[in-house]
Chain A
Amino acid sequence: MKFLLGALVALLLPVALLVPAAALAQPVKTGHIEAELVASAQGIAPGQTIQIALRQSIQKGWHTYWKNAGDSGEPTRIAWTTPAGWSVSDFTWPTPRRLPVGPLVNYGYEGEVLLPMTLTAPKDATPGQPVTLNAAVQFLVCADVCVPEDAKLTLSLPVTAGPAPADPKWGPRIQKTLADAPKPAGLTAAFEKQGAVVKVAITGQALKGADLAGAYFYPASGTVIDHAKPQPIERGPEGLTLTLTPGYDFQKPQPPAELAGVLALEGKAYEVSAAPGPLPAGASGLGAPPAHAPVPAGADKLGLLSAALFALVGGLILNLMPCVFPVLAMKAASLAGHGGGAHAEARRQGLAFGAGAVVTFLVLAGLLIALRSAGAAVGWGFQLQDPPVVAVLALLMLGVALNLSGVFEIGTSLQGVGSGLAAQSGLVGAFFTGTLAVVVAAPCTAPFMGPALGWALTQPPAAALVVFLFLGVGFALPFVAVAFAPGLLERLPRPGPWMEVFRKALAFPMYATVVWLVWVLTVQVGPDAVPRILGAAIVLALAGWLAGAAQRRVALGERAAPLGVAAAVLIAVAVVGGAFWPRYAEATAATAESAHLDYQPYTPEKLAALQAEGRPVLVNYTAAWCVSCQVNDRVALSTKAVAEALKRDNAVYLKADWTKRDPAIAAELASYGRAGVPLYLVYGAKGGPPAILPSILTQGTVVKALDKAAQAS
């Protein structure tokens, strides 16, 4: 140890001793830093105040620290030796960066950084004589290891009779650093400890309509909050609320009287000092910002390439998720049409299906991005949060099912939705099969998709669209691949009478889909929806039967126009009456019922209260339209083993129902880097960040997580 220190001193001493001899403005190399003092002006007049700065050029991979170094480290220090009457201010600290080190987070600087100070000359300074100012600087410079380095720096400036011109090199750079540094902006701030978290609410003119993406609070003191924890953001009309994890100071008998620091936004930073007290109104209620919410380790580290890759894999896996089973039936029917031979046609159809899927993904993504940038707290699967959309889909699925049952046929028209069977010119049909598959599949968040979507929604639209593009490509890939693989196509049986049987059998999964959608609708708007949507279904069935009759007449050369018109009118009646008019009223409090497991509805307050009691908590972010969620509920959650585990571990099961739009839940999902459900969190008995369970649950996973959460106490 002594040897090491000795070696360090031996290395550094000559450098330090040589410094004063160095010419002015000659940068000093301390080992991992090149340091010098620079001035914004070429001279200084008696009584004048100018800006100077300590410039550090830090070796790549190394960093120095902010005034609060975070979990470890030490800020740069400077001690001046100045002639009588000269004075230098403290540093104006530029906004730092977060520097994660293993499980810890430090605050500091990388690359080149200027730490500005003001230099004031005495009124009796003598023009014509240069002034020499000496400073002893101590750096702690760290990569994964830390090295204290120091330097003796000198700044020599001519004393001029009047203000001197700006330094062409450093003047603008110091000015820019000062312009970017955190400033007071008359913000009002208050903080309040709420259970296991501390919320700080900040309001003010500067925050109204500001881009709050990636907002982060850098505390001035190192003991007031836990630096390594994420800071979920909620926006309000007047400002924002950050959820912080309390630090050591909150364990003291006297809780902190102030929460001071810097609120950093994209490209801007403000000094903030929060007082204890009730949180001001206007700092919350609008959900997470539309972009760049801070997300836990992992998701925020995704680059575009890996997010695209995740999206591709996620899209592939989406084909296996329960949401898509009904549509798989349609795809199977469509594929069966190409058994044996017909390769060119199969390829065209495959491409049309792929195009339909990809275009629909992009349209949905564009809509989603537009809605979010307009401030709506929506996430993936948002289209199924609207009762009219669900109703239309239910009727559409019924139409497809009736068609598969042979009630009516679909010819060459654009109405060939879902009918890949009309193989002659079914390109449009194949395209819309792709569309339909995506619309129905979208509410499922497959594994891999969650992180990719969460990432995408925090990015600029172009990057987000790339991710959705890959999602669409991944989703369409298996079908397109089959269409392009002659070997596989050969294995499919040749078209024949069996297809008719197959097709009629496939109608039944489609009828089941109708049942599911009707159920979703009733959860959204209550039992009154049942007669209405089923009535519309009967009208639609009548329309289908009339259409079929008309088609048979046409085949016999008879007049069919009145029947066709009647069918069209009935379709319109069914859709308008079933979905749009009169408007669906909001249901009061109908929630997806879970079979055996007692739960309480989720609120952040309830979670905080339970955590304060020291009980483990399982939070299930779910929605009636999310089939994966329902499958998980039946297969894994609503089981005896989980019920027993909850009891044994004194745990509480909270359900956050996202069947209807809810900005608060959307914000929470965003804070875990998710854009959709399901999300399962298990909070340990002693607080801390929750464990995130996989998107596909097994009973064992849940039980294990609950037991582990209880043990943490």
Chain B
Amino acid sequence: MLLDRRLILTLAVAWLAAGPACAEPMVGQPAPAFQARDADGRTVSLAQFRGRTVVLEWTNNGCPYVGKHYGSGNMQRLQAQATADGVAWLTIISSAPGFQGYLTGPQAKAWKAKVGARSSDVLLDPKGVVGRLYEARTTPHMFVIDKTGRLVYMGGVDDQPTTDPESLKIAKPYLAEALADVKAGRPVATPVSQPYGCSVKYGSAE
């Protein structure tokens, strides 16, 4: 009987062992803390950037929407401007191994060099832990965290959900505007917008 009970327990736990989903990120609230390895294998935590503005950028080098922003140089320009202003810009890859956009450390470094990315660091999140924590949905999906660690912007790079580089000319650049607001000490005018792009390639539902 005892054995049976243990067996049932094991089966039951196996069947129902869906972990609780994490709480969604909220603008105006503290940004969820995380740690992740960067492309060099160093552990990077959000906490170490306290006192600096932080940008989180989800990316996938095979995604045509990411292609629009890197192929046109738009993303690199935004990165250069932000890092010149002292912003820590973390590019995060949450693609699972075997899925589009997954890169190993050396591959990520090679990619960064090749596209001329100007981000502060590239973080590898192959298990999608950080992605799920922030509920990152698309590539690109952008988050801005202010110096006190509060989430002040999340959404798209701009308001043009298309892969056409021509759209950049008419785009309302939400991210650049949010960073300008933060720099000037103003509340962010548009704190949330719809992220657009390819789905983040988490690999599985669990």
Assess whether B71 is interfacial by the CB under 8 Å rule.
yes
Kindly list chain B residues whose C-beta atoms are within 8 Å of the C-beta of A74: 161-163, 196
A1 touches B22 (CB 8 A): no
B23 touches A684 (CB 8 A): yes
Q: How far is the CA of A4 from the CA of B100 in the complex (A)?
A: 13
| Given known A2-B71, A104-B199, A695-B12, contact A8–B24 (CB-CB < 8 A) | no
B11 touches A447 (CB 8 A): yes
A73 touches B9 (CB 8 A): no
B193 touches A712 (CB 8 A): no
| Given known A102-B200, A147-B64, contact A71–B138 (CB-CB < 8 A) | yes
Q: How far is the CA of A221 from the CA of B67 in the complex (A)?
A: 25
Q: How far is the CA of A239 from the CA of B58 in the complex (A)?
A: 41
Assess whether B149 is interfacial by the CB under 8 Å rule.
no
- Nearest-neighbour CB distance to chain B for A241, whole angstroms, equals 22
Q: How far is the CA of A689 from the CA of B23 in the complex (A)?
A: 8
Q: Contact partner of B162 among A1, A100, A138, A145, CB < 8 A?
A: A138
Count CB-based A-B contacts (< 8 Å): 158
| Given known A74-B162, A104-B199, A713-B23, contact A1–B115 (CB-CB < 8 A) | yes
Assess whether A420 is interfacial by the CB under 8 Å rule.
no
| Given known A1-B70, A298-B18, A320-B4, contact A72–B199 (CB-CB < 8 A) | yes
Q: How far is the CA of A692 from the CA of B67 in the complex (A)?
A: 40
* Among A102, A248, A249, residue most surrounded by chain B Cβ atoms (within 10 Å): A102
A146 touches B198 (CB 8 A): yes
Taking CB atoms and an 8 Å cut-off, the chain A residues in 56-85 that contact chain B are 69, 71-74, 77
Q: How far is the CA of A223 from the CA of B5 in the complex (A)?
A: 47
In the complex, residue of chain B having the shortest beta-carbon distance to the beta carbon of A310: B15
Taking CB atoms and an 8 Å cut-off, the chain A residues in 174-223 that contact chain B are 221-223
A448 touches B67 (CB 8 A): no
| Given known A1-B61, A682-B20, A684-B22, contact A251–B203 (CB-CB < 8 A) | no
| Given known A71-B199, A72-B198, A694-B12, contact A146–B64 (CB-CB < 8 A) | yes
| Given known A1-B115, A695-B16, A708-B20, contact A448–B198 (CB-CB < 8 A) | no
In the complex, residue of chain B having the shortest beta-carbon distance to the beta carbon of A690: B20
- Nearest-neighbour CB distance to chain A for B192, whole angstroms, equals 4
Q: How far is the CA of A569 from the CA of B203 in the complex (A)?
A: 70
Taking CB atoms and an 8 Å cut-off, the chain A residues in 99-118 that contact chain B are 100-104, 106
Assess whether A142 is interfacial by the CB under 8 Å rule.
yes
Q: Contact partner of B198 among A142, A298, A694, CB < 8 A?
A: A142
- Nearest-neighbour CB distance to chain A for B199, whole angstroms, equals 4
Kindly list chain B residues whose C-beta atoms are within 8 Å of the C-beta of A248: 154-155, 192-194
A140 touches B11 (CB 8 A): no
Interface size of B as a range = 35 or more
| Given known A682-B20, A684-B23, A688-B22, contact A144–B154 (CB-CB < 8 A) | no
Assess whether B170 is interfacial by the CB under 8 Å rule.
no
| Given known A72-B198, A102-B203, contact A148–B64 (CB-CB < 8 A) | yes
Kindly list chain A residues whose C-beta atoms are within 8 Å of the C-beta of B11: 317, 447-448
Taking CB atoms and an 8 Å cut-off, the chain A residues in 16-48 that contact chain B are none
A691 touches B161 (CB 8 A): no
A251 touches B71 (CB 8 A): no
Q: How far is the CA of A223 from the CA of B71 in the complex (A)?
A: 27
Kindly list chain A residues whose C-beta atoms are within 8 Å of the C-beta of B24: 226, 686-688
| Given known A298-B18, A708-B20, A713-B23, contact A102–B202 (CB-CB < 8 A) | yes
A698 touches B9 (CB 8 A): yes
Kindly list chain A residues whose C-beta atoms are within 8 Å of the C-beta of B199: 71-73, 101-102, 104, 106, 142, 144, 146
Assess whether B41 is interfacial by the CB under 8 Å rule.
no
B18 touches A72 (CB 8 A): no
What per-residue 1/0 map shows which CB atoms of B54-68 lie under 8 Å from chain A? 000000011111110
B192 touches A144 (CB 8 A): no
In the complex, residue of chain B having the shortest beta-carbon distance to the beta carbon of A695: B12
Taking CB atoms and an 8 Å cut-off, the chain B residues in 155-192 that contact chain A are 155, 161-164, 191-192
A687 touches B16 (CB 8 A): no
Q: A104-B137, A447-B12, A712-B20 are in contact. List 4 more A-B contacts (CB 8 A).
A: A2-B71, A138-B164, A298-B18, A684-B20
Enumerate 11 A-B pairs (CB-CB under 8 Å) in ascending A order: A72-B195, A102-B128, A103-B202, A104-B199, A144-B199, A251-B191, A320-B5, A695-B12, A696-B9, A708-B19, A712-B23
Enumerate chain A interface residues (CB-CB to B < 8 A): 1-2, 4-5, 8, 69, 71-74, 77, 100-104, 106, 138, 140, 142, 144-148, 221-223, 226, 248-249, 251-252, 297-298, 317, 320, 446-448, 451, 682, 684-696, 698, 701, 705, 708-709, 712-713
Enumerate chain B interface residues (CB-CB to A < 8 A): 1, 4-5, 8-9, 11-13, 15-24, 26-28, 61-67, 70-71, 99-100, 111, 114-115, 128, 132, 137-138, 154-155, 161-164, 191-205
